[in-house]
Amino acid sequence: MCQGSRPVDPRNSRLDVLEINISQAGIAGWIKNSSDKTAVGVMVWVNYFRSARGGLIGQQCIPISDLTAGERRPFRASQSVKASEAESWTHAAEALDWK
C-alpha cells in the first residue's frame, strides 16, 4: 500500500498525526482525518536522519488504511532497523486519494 513519488496533494495537510512515539519497542501514535472527505490509502512516513542537521539514512512507511471524515485512529509498527542508527527523525501523513 505504501507508494511514493507522487506530487504533494495539499489535502494531505488535513491528516493530523496527533501523537507519535518512536522507541526501541516500536512506533505508536494517533492520526486524525480533519477533512470532510474520506482519505483513501492513508499512510504515515517516518524519515530517519544521521544527525539533527540531516543525512537521510532511511524511510519507513506505516500503512493505516482509509480514514472517514473526522475519524481518529491509533497506529502501531515495528521500528525500522535504520532507526537505531538515527539521531533524529521526521514524519508526514499522506493519502493516495480523497472521496
What are the pLDDT digits (tens) for 30-89?
Answer: 999 999 999 999 999 999 999 888 899 988 999 999 999 999 999 999 987 777 888 999
16 close to 93: Cβ distance less than 8 angstroms? yes
Residue 7 confidence (pLDDT)? 65
Residues 39 and 92: their CA atoms lie apart, in Å, by 14
Residue 52: count of CB within 10 angstroms of its CB: 8
Find residue 12's DSSP bridge partners. none
**30: its cell numbers:** 494517533
Ordered domains of the chain (ranges, CATH): 10-98 (2.60.40.10)
Q: Is the confidence at residue 26, as pLDDT, over 90?
A: no
39 close to 66: Cβ distance less than 8 angstroms? yes
What spatial distance separates the first Cα and last Cα of the chain, rounded to whole Å?
17
Residue 33 confidence (pLDDT)? 97
Higher pLDDT, 60 or 7: 60
Model confidence band, residue 9 (pLDDT cutoffs 50, 70, 90): confident
Q: Is the confidence at residue 11, as pLDDT, over 60?
A: yes
86 close to 55: Cβ distance less than 8 angstroms? no
Describe the strand order of the beta sheet including 72-77 as a list of residue ranges: 15-23, 26-33, 72-77
The structure's pTM equals 0.86
